[in-house]
Chain A
Amino acid sequence: AQSVTQLDSQVPVFEEAPVELRCNYSSSVSVYLFWYVQYPNQGLQLLLKYLSGSTLVKGINGFEAEFNKSQTSFHLRKPSVHISDTAEYFCAVSEVDSSYKLIFGSGTRLLVRP
């Protein structure tokens, strides 16, 4: 069975500092990988996705993530955060052969301080 582990429940960081949100997954089959962001009282917005090809994926709002198959990781990074990046971030996986179902991690709250 698949599972997703987000190692940090909360990450505090100062504005303009770099940040990395960690995500590890477990699966016996090939997967697609996603990062979603959730602002307060809103649904989920897709930041970026890895389907195949280059392991470095660039997304919206200056975020990027790197797929590491040997480490089964898909960490999210941003070189310089803004106050407006404060939100909940979810890593998710889906099996390539049954990609209708997303398995989410428990989320990481990014708190950007001035």
Chain B
Amino acid sequence: ETGVTQSPTHLIKTRGQQVTLRCSSQSGHNTVSWYQQALGQGPQFIFQYYREEENGRGNFPPRFSGLQFPNYSSELNVNALELDDSALYLCASSPTTNTEAFFGQGTRLTVV
């Protein structure tokens, strides 16, 4: 059974650019959640997608957007990158919306 995979593992972007992070959910999982983990802090919920629809959103500005595809993989897009967007971005998949979340290894984004 393949777990949650994220790509790329590391990324360096310049302030003002746009970035797309990708996540493949675990087999059989139809729900994907995204979290931002700044250095030395706990993860913060960005949003969740269930069957291609946004199912809940945390306190993040609209320049953070997402997408879920028919195969339940997902993308996180961030526009107009700011230095404070530098963080580890974690994707988690679940069999349904309110069950245990299985996390990927994350994408480390550095904005310079």
Given contacts A46-B100, A98-B56, A101-B56, contact A41 B43 (CB under 8 A): no
Given contacts A41-B105, A43-B103, A45-B103, contact A101 B43 (CB under 8 A): no
- The distance in angstroms between the C-alpha atoms of A43 and B44, with both chains bound, is 14
Give the residues in chain B near A92, CB-CB below 8 Å.
Answer: 42
Q: 1/0 contact trace for A69-92 toward B, CB 8 Å?
A: 000000000000000000000101
B56 touches A43 (CB 8 A): no
Q: Whole-angstrom distance from the CB of B20 to the nearest CB of chain A?
A: 19
- The distance in angstroms between the C-alpha atoms of A79 and B21, with both chains bound, is 40
B56 touches A107 (CB 8 A): no
Q: How many residues of B contact A (CB 8 A)?
A: 27
Output the nearest chain B residue to A91 by Cβ-Cβ distance. B42
B41 touches A100 (CB 8 A): no
**CB-CB contacts below 8 Å: B27-57 with A:** 31, 33, 35, 40-45, 48, 50, 55-56
Give the residues in chain B near A104, CB-CB below 8 Å.
Answer: 35, 42-44
- The distance in angstroms between the C-alpha atoms of A106 and B97, with both chains bound, is 24
Tell whether A111 is near chain B: CB-to-CB under 8 Å.
Answer: no
- The distance in angstroms between the C-alpha atoms of A42 and B48, with both chains bound, is 21
Tell whether A30 is near chain B: CB-to-CB under 8 Å.
Answer: no
Given contacts A100-B33, A100-B48, A100-B55, contact A43 B42 (CB under 8 A): no
- The distance in angstroms between the C-alpha atoms of A103 and B92, with both chains bound, is 14
A43 touches B100 (CB 8 A): no
Given contacts A43-B106, A44-B90, contact A100 B98 (CB under 8 A): yes
B41 touches A107 (CB 8 A): yes
Give the residues in chain B near A106, CB-CB below 8 Å.
Answer: 40-42
Chain A residues within 8 Å of B, Cβ to Cβ: 4, 36, 41-46, 49, 90, 92, 94, 98-107
The 4 A-B residue pairs with the shortest CB-CB distance, nearest first, are A104-B42, A43-B103, A99-B98, A44-B103
